Structure 1
Amino acid sequence: MSYETHIRQSGRGMRRLVAAAAGDDSQVAAIDAEPLAPLADVYRQLPIYYITNRMIVGAPGSTVVWPNYSNVMDYELEYGVVIGKTAANIRPENARDYIFGYTIFNDFSARDQQSKEMPGWLGPGKGKSFDGGNVIGPWIVTRDEIPDPYSLKAVVRVNGEVRCESSTAGMLFNFEQMLVHMSMDETISAGEVICSGTIGNGCGLETGIFLNDGDVVELEFEKIGILRNKVVRRAS
């Protein structure tokens, strides 16, 4: 959860999704009309993150199949770092040395399931973890090729239509700071991937436009490439 715009808009988007599912049009309109809530202090105090199932990663070009329990599928515009060296208690002054390279991450999300889980204060659970839903690629670009990873242009396209144009600027905590925090008395292993969280306006939960059966999603990052996947409903 590194981008303020996404954090503030996704909370409202989740409430809107629940109201729309209940058929409460007046509540949807009220949510749309309200100002965004301010950013909670905790997001500036420390990096907030969750850990997902590393064994269910999908490939570039793969077809992502919706889980049976979901009717609302979403994409997320993220990028991340691949860890190059195993260590614990990484120091701020050499944290960048532990970054092997940069890649793109599409955190496909079952939003209707996530909306059920998050009120329990521990999710997202099955809202994020299903076979092939954590897609990484198409390349790992080594650290020396991207001297400034915090100013890259980023774009989302669905079926060729631009859904979001943004950049990697404005992270509340950069990857080096994340590594310092996450490695406190915890070993971070070479090969692990740490992702940025969604860039503002980089998902349907924020824009109100979700995915349909057969959609092709492209996430493009300057200097890294294009991560392309098709999403389909599971055959009955």
Structure 2
Amino acid sequence: MKLVTWLKSGDEAAVGALTGDDEIVDLKAAAVLFEKADEPFESMLSLIQHGEVALDAARHLMLRVAEGGEKSLCTPLAAATLLAPLPVPESVRDAMAFEDHIINCIRVMGLKKLGRVDEWVEKKWGRRATLARFINRAWYDRPVYYKSNRFSVVGPDAEVTIPSYCRTFDYELELGIVIGKTGTNIPASRAGEHIFGYTLFNDFSARDEQMREMKGRLGPAKGKDFDGGNAMGPILVTRDEVPDPLNIRMEATVNGEVWSIGSTADMHWGFEEIIEAISRDETLYPGEFIGSGTCSGKEGKGCGLEMGRFLSPGDTVELTAQGIGTLRNRVV
């Protein structure tokens, strides 16, 4: 299913599912109409927490709506004000799953002028011979991640304010997952069962602040934690509708110009391995969010830092992925 959270009227948030005609079916209103008012559609979190039971109920309601032609329950997607699919996740973690992203960042931030020499070394003798890979060697041992502010989530078409302390503001092209099943010490072989669904994630970043604070051997903190810094959406696509999560093509544009192209095929660490690492002696709960990290690989670089290009007030950033849609945000 393709699920959304939108403003039904005023500031009332509602949970809906998309029809093939890009209309939103109000699941709670449908449950009331068909005398299924006890179904868990008060919020996206409630739906996720009830797992397959809730999804089966939602599928049944969608069939009833289609059969009965209940247009009063439908809102055109194009006319709806969408929020983030999961407006307040139970937690937000962001991983670094793409090798090229961290290698590129080491060259830009750490090696600086030597970065071009290191690129030449890679072309001549391969990545194993590079200084960037040597500096990055601990990353190959296990998936790494940081925790972000779950209360700073915004959805599509929300404006994102550049923090007052930032002069180099950046976007990140990412895919994200939402956990749908409780588990501890989850093996990678079973981790897919714990994924509820997928959405796009733009991890907006105050790069200058991030570089300063991480010299203190901790962080990122204020480089990532500010109001509106975590953009998610536009929809949450359930696991069963993503047959090949390691073959999702993504793109980022700024003011209509393509800046980034990437694919989940270039993930060094898959979401299953990331879940295994995070859940080691730690319980994961339904409604927790995990980002993939910046999607950089064979087709391009997934953020401005890697290219020396940054955002300015008035810029519109759009992330697009097949089957998920476009996450659009304007920087102010």
Give the counterpart letter for 2:116 in structure 1: A
Distance between the aligned counterparts of 1:153 and 1:34, measured in 2? 30
Q: CA deviation at 1:31?
A: 4.3
Identity of aligned residues (%): 50
Residue 224 of structure 2 corresponds to which residue in structure 1? 128
Residue 180 of structure 1 corresponds to which residue in structure 2? 276
Gap regions ≥5 residues in structure 2: 1-95, 120-130
Q: Please list, as runs of the form range in 1=range in 2, the aligned pairs for 1:83-102 lying within 5 A after superposition.
A: 83-102=179-198
Give the counterpart letter for 1:9 in structure 2: N
Give the counterpart letter for 1:87 in structure 2: G
Aligned Cα root-mean-square deviation (Å)? 1.4
Structure 1 33/172 Cα, relative in aligned 2: closer, same or farther at 3 Å?
A: closer
TM-score relative to the length of structure 1: 0.89
Distance between the aligned counterparts of 2:180 and 2:235, measured in 1? 15
Residue 157 of structure 2 corresponds to which residue in structure 1? 61
Question: Is the contact between residue 43 and residue 172 of structure 1 (CA under 8 Å) also seen in structure 2?
Answer: no
Secondary structure of the residue aligned to 2:178 is strand
Residues 50-101 of structure 1: CA distance to partner in whole angstroms, max 9, x if unpaired? 0111111111110000111111100000011110012212133321110000
Q: Which of the residues 285, 288, 312 maps onto 1:192?
A: 288
Secondary structure of the residue aligned to 1:139 is strand
Residue 10 of structure 1 corresponds to which residue in structure 2? 105
Secondary structure of the residue aligned to 1:169 is helix
Which structure has the larger Rg? 2
Gap regions ≥5 residues in structure 1: 17-27
Give the counterpart letter for 1:196 in structure 2: S
Question: Is the contact between residue 118 and residue 132 of structure 2 (CA under 8 Å) also seen in structure 1?
Answer: no
Residue 204 of structure 1 corresponds to which residue in structure 2? 304
Q: CA deviation at 1:146?
A: 0.6
Structure 1 38/31 Cα, relative in aligned 2: closer, same or farther at 3 Å?
A: closer
Q: CA deviation at 1:197?
A: 0.5
Secondary structure of the residue aligned to 2:331 is strand
Residues 184-229 of structure 1: CA distance to partner in whole angstroms, max 9, x if unpaired? 1111110011110001111110011100110000011112111100
Residue 46 of structure 1 corresponds to which residue in structure 2? 142
Distance between the aligned counterparts of 1:136 and 1:220, measured in 2? 12
Question: Is the contact between residue 107 and residue 132 of structure 2 (CA under 8 Å) also seen in structure 1?
Answer: no
Q: Does 1:139 align with 2:235?
A: yes
Bigger relative contact order, structure 1 or 2 (CA pairs below 8 A, ≥6 apart): 1
Give the counterpart letter for 2:132 in structure 1: P
TM-score relative to the length of structure 2: 0.64
Question: Is the contact between residue 106 and residue 135 of structure 1 (CA under 8 Å) also seen in structure 2?
Answer: yes
